[in-house]
Amino acid sequence: MAVVAERAFTSRSTLQRIEAGDTNVSIGIVAGVLQALGLLDGLSQIADIGNDRVGQALANESLPKHIHLKRPSGTHRDG
């Protein structure tokens, strides 16, 4: 733990906070820890909507059920 903290330029107590899921740890510190562990490539997956089924479901619920397109003025229905 001391080696990871040193490589991430942070403290052991901050590492413990990250392990405990403390949301008050900055994303920069988390990125530093991921880099120290060789896991930085996984950071891009955190905000990827493709990995967030709940987020996708919530986004789909907020979409309108019906869409009504406005016709330009001066057009007639029978063409």
* Residue of higher predicted confidence among 21 and 52: 21
> Is the residue at 5 inside a domain?
yes
- For the residues 15-23, what does the mean pLDDT come to? 95
Residue type, 21: G
Q: Which domain holds residue 25?
A: 1-42
> Is the residue at 27 inside a domain?
yes
> Is the residue at 22 inside a domain?
yes
79 pLDDT exceeds 80? no
* Residue of higher predicted confidence among 13 and 78: 13
> Is the residue at 71 inside a domain?
no
72 pLDDT exceeds 90? no
Distances (CA, A) of 5 to 23, 32, 34, 57, 79: 18, 9, 11, 37, 72
48 pLDDT exceeds 90? no
Model confidence at 2, pLDDT cuts 50, 70, 90, reads: very high
> Is the residue at 61 inside a domain?
no
> Is the residue at 17 inside a domain?
yes
When the pLDDT of each residue in the chain is averaged and rounded to a whole number, the result is: 87
C-alpha–C-alpha distance, residues 5 and 7, integer Å: 6
Domain count, the chain: 1
C-alpha–C-alpha distance, residues 64 and 25, integer Å: 37
C-alpha–C-alpha distance, residues 8 and 31, integer Å: 8
